[in-house]
């Protein structure tokens, strides 16, 4: 089963907090899925190319022309703003 | 005799509108009344937009008067609540977006609006489309109109239930691993997942971008074709969208039956019903070809690496700054506190689990063993189908291995829930078109869905083959 330490590390990378009482359940459910997907280890895939997407992978270009957008609508969704900017909390700090 | 307007198909309703048997306003009111009467129990809708729907109906009536008539003009529909309609709340059934108002129209909405469509409201789903039963909605569970103790399927369960309960004529859903087809099967209606790239995803709240596709849920196949034709087409706002539809060149019908789709884990009644459907095709003169898709047993494992990996990246945008707000400013000192607190409070359990799963399989040290390996397995799954389509026109099987299950029955066991998508996920991994249509009922009266899979961009052929069965089945 996946360790508590690993779960805490993944949670941190995912920007999620986990309460102590949730740890066991998460470890258990996480492990059952990991156990299932291990099935892919059976496959011999050394020479197989990867398929990451099915699109034509061509660039779509447009002219570099500024367009008016409804800024008000977009700003209305922000939790904090000042003038026409999104306002955020401190982004530079020392890690605890 | 006065007809019940809510029972009509798109084609019937459109005829009625054209002949002035009734107006779009009358038609829309009939559905709004039906929603008032039935949705307290079924709970298919998160938001009903009565005033807007009536305004759209008035506009449609004017269009009809001016002889500007498209197949969907004045036809009331429902939209899954992960597809944006400008100025309307769009929640994706998540606490995170509980009060989010869409600032633009999805391309599919834009297309429907131009034709004079009427939007009745937004339907329930599993949070961010992650689930197979609608039980992962942050708000409530939708009930299956065919049996109120059972789930409608998911994630487009609200859309499927709304169609099945005559609370709209058709609905739009999205399908990442079976989310249109499995609920269509559970609710006894028709659901089409188009080829990846045929319908623009612009304005669809992304779950797994290489798998997501918007499609119709309808009362029959002709209706599915009408809606598909209305929403398809390449779009400058979605670089993966293309115009590549192939004409139907069907001469001698060959139907592939993969032995892997009838292996253990398949419900006996479902199996019997699909085998009867295969016999109907045989009677119709089709050649039934035994085929093998040996990678089938790896599809679900592959999907549960790729879909969460893409989801973990897509859902990183939900930071509590640009969307949603659940915590007070005083509770946060640094920006990371805002991320952590909002994401922890905003996402439900299943979504968190999938974000973490995706983060894990993409993280340093595990990437090769999980994600990279899954991308290679995906190639093999795609090749399986390519080989099969050299020999057959369509592939037939069950949509789901089980009958619609009871609410709560599988919610504690993620693997057993995931297994209900075992036949549908491979289609998304390979980007193919597929349809679920009703093909029978269990002894207890529960709907059974048949799954037909086509080659890429061969929707026209797929739908015509599905129609052959539908005509025969309706007449029985």
Q: What is the pLDDT of residues B379-403, one digit of tens each?
A: 999 999 999 999 999 999 999 999 9
How many Å from the N-terminal Cα to the C-terminal Cα in chain A? 29
Q: Which chain B residues have a beta carbon less than 8 Å from that of A77?
A: 100-101, 103, 322-323
Handedness of CA B193, B84, A56, B351 (dihedral sign): negative
Structural domain of A8: 4-42
State the CATH number of the domain containing residue B188: 3.90.1300.10
The Cα-based distances of B457 to B194, B195, B200, B216, B288 in angstroms read 8, 6, 14, 16, 22
Record: contact A54-B333, CB cut-off 8 A: no
Rounded mean pLDDT, B289-310: 97
Q: Does A4 contact chain B (CB < 8 Å)?
A: no
Nearest Cβ partner of B301 from A6, A37, A89?
A37
Query: Is B80 part of the annotated catalytic residue set?
Result: yes
Cross-chain residue pair A16–B352, CB shorter than 8 Å:
yes
Residue B208 lies in a domain: yes
Chain B residue numbers with beta carbons less than 8 Å from the beta carbon of A59 are 239
Question: What is the least distance, in Å, from the CA of B379 to any CA of chain A?
Answer: 5
Classify residue A93: in a domain, yes or no. Answer: no
Number of domains in chain A: 1
Residues 419-438 of B with CB under 8 A from A: 430-431
Q: Tell me what percent of the residues of chain B surpass a pLDDT of 70.
A: 99
Residue B242 covered by a domain: no
Q: What is the pLDDT of residue B101?
A: 92
Cβ distance B414 to A51 less than 8 Å, yes or no, reads: no
pLDDT band at A96 (very low <50, low <70, confident <90, very high): low
Residue predicted with more confidence, B339 or B326: B339
Residue B302 has pLDDT above 60, yes or no: yes
- The yes-or-no answer on residue B179 being catalytic is yes
Give the residue-averaged pLDDT of B187-198: 97
pLDDT at site A82: 86
Q: B326-335 pLDDT, tens per residue? A: 677 778 888 8
User: DSSP labels for B16-43?
Assistant: HHHTTSS-HHHHHHHHHHHHHHHHHHH-
Question: What pLDDT does residue B244 have?
Answer: 86
List, as one string, the DSSP characters of B195-235: PTTSB--TTBPPS-TTT-EEEEEESSHHHHHHHHHHHBS-B
The reported pLDDT for the residue numbered B326 is: 65
ipTM over 0.90: yes
A9 within a domain of the structure (yes/no): yes
Mean pLDDT value across residues B74-86: 98
Would residue B247 count as lying in a domain?
A: no
In a domain, B280, yes or no: no
Tell me the mean pLDDT in the region A25-53: 92
Cα torsion B358, B360, B365, B368: sign: negative
Name the packing angle between helices A23-37 and B296-314 (round to 10°): 130
Mutate to test the interface with B, among A13, A30, A37 (most CBs of B within 10 A): A37
User: Is residue B150 situated within a structural domain?
Assistant: yes
In the prediction, which pLDDT does A78 show? Answer: 82
Whether A29 maps to a domain, the answer reads yes
Residue B459 pLDDT > 70: yes
Q: Which residues of A touch B302 (CB under 8 A)?
A: 37, 40
Q: What is the pLDDT of residue B324?
A: 72
Instruction: Give residue B218's domain range.
Output: 5-231
Answer whether residue B474 shows pLDDT above 70: no
Q: What is the mean pLDDT of chain B?
A: 95
Task: Select the residue of B323, B359, B374 nearest A14 (Cβ to Cβ).
Answer: B359
What is the pLDDT, as a whole number, of residue B325? 65
- Residues 338-357 on B with a CB inside 8 Å of A are 338-341, 343-344, 347, 352-353, 355-357
Partner A contacted by B360 (CB < 8 A): yes
Residue in A17, A58, A93 closest to B344 by CB: A17
User: Among partner residues A13, A26, A53, which is closest to B359 by beta-carbon distance?
Assistant: A13
pLDDT for res B322: 82
Structure tokens at A42: 């059976």
| A32 contacts on B by Cβ (under 8 Å) | 414-415
Give domain status of residue B16, yes or no. yes
pLDDT digits (tens, 9 = 90+) for B239-274: 899 988 888 888 899 999 999 999 888 999 999 999
What token pair was written down for B51?
């005033």
* pLDDT grade for A59, boundaries at 50, 70 and 90: confident
Which of B343, B357, B360 has its CB closest to that of A15? B343
Q: Has residue B152 been placed in a domain? A: yes
Q: What is the pLDDT of residues B120-168, one digit of tens each?
A: 999 999 999 999 999 999 999 999 999 999 999 999 999 999 999 999 9
Total tally of structural domains belonging to chain B: 1
Contacts with A82 from chain B: Cβ below 8 Å: none
- In angstroms, what separates the C-alpha of B197 from chain A's closest C-alpha? 7
- The candidate with the shortest Cα–Cα distance to B215, out of B444, B449, B428, is B428
The reply to whether B209 belongs to the active site is no
On the question of pLDDT at B476 being above 70, the answer is no
pLDDT computed for residue B331 by the predictor: 80
Assigned domain for B327 exists: no
């Amino acid at each position: 089963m996946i360790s508590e330490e690993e779960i805490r590390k993944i949670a941190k990378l995912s920007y999620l907090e986990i309460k102590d009482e949730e740890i066991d359940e998460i470890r258990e459910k996480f492990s059952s899925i990991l156990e299932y997907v291990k099935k892919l280890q059976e496959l011999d895939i050394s020479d197989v190319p990867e398929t990451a997407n099915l699109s034509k992978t061509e660039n779509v270009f447009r002219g570099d022309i500024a367009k008016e957008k409804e800024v008000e609508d977009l700003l209305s969704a922000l939790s904090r703003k000042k003038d026409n900017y999104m306002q955020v909390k401190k982004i530079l700090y020392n890690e605890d | 005799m006065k007809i019940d307007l809510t029972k009509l198909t798109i084609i019937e309703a459109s005829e009625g509108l054209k002949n002035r048997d009734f107006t779009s306003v009358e038609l829309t009111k009939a559905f709004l009344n039906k929603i008032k009467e039935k949705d307290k129990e079924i709970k298919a809708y998160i938001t009903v937009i009565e005033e807007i729907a009536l305004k759209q109906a008035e506009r449609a009536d004017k269009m009809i008067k001016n002889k500007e008539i498209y197949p969907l003009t004045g036809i009331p529909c429902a939209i899954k609540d992960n597809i944006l309609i400008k100025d309307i709340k769009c929640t994706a059934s998540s606490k995170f977006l509980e009060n989010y108002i869409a600032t633009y129209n999805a391309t599919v909405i834009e297309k429907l609006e131009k034709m004079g469509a009427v939007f009745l409201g937004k339907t329930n789903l599993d949070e961010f489309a992650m689930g197979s039963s609608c039980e992962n909605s942050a708000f409530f569970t939708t009930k299956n109109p065919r049996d109120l103790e059972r789930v409608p399927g998911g994630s487009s369960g609200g859309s499927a239930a709304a169609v099945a309960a005559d609370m709209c004529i058709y609905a739009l859903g999205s399908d990442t691993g079976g989310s249109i087809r499995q609920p269509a099967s559970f609710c006894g209606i028709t659901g089409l997942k188009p080829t990846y790239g045929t319908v623009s995803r612009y304005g669809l709240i992304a779950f797994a971008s290489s798998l997501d596709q918007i499609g119709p849920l309808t009362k029959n196949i002709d209706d599915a074709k009408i809606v598909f034709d209305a929403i398809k087409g390449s779009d400058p706002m979605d670089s993966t969208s293309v115009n590549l539809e192939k004409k139907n060149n069907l001469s001698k019908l060959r139907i592939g039956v993969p032995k892997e789709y009838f292996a253990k884990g398949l419900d006996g009644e479902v199996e019997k019903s699909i085998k009867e459907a295969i016999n109907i095709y045989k009677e119709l003169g089709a050649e039934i070809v035994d085929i093998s898709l040996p990678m089938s047993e790896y599809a679900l494992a592959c999907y549960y690496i790729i879909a969460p990996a893409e989801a973990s990246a897509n859902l990183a945008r939900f930071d509590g700054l640009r969307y949603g707000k659940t915590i007070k400013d005083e509770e946060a000192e640094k920006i990371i506190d805002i991320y952590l607190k909002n994401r922890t409070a905003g996402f439900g359990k299943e979504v968190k689990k999938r974000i973490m799963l995706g983060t894990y399989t993409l993280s340093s040290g595990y990437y090769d063993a999980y994600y990279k390996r899954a991308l290679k397995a995906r190639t093999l799954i795609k090749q399986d189908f390519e080989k099969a389509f050299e020999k057959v026109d369509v592939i037939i099987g069950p949509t789901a291995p089980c009958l619609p299950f009871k609410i709560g029955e599988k919610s504690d066991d993620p693997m057993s829930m995931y297994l209900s998508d075992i036949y549908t996920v491979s289609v998304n991994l390979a980007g193919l078109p597929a349809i679920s249509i009703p093909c029978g009922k269990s002894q207890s009266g529960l709907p059974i869905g048949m799954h037909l899979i086509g080659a890429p961009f061969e929707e026209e052929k797929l739908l015509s083959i599905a129609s052959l069965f539908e005509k025969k089945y309706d007449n029985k």
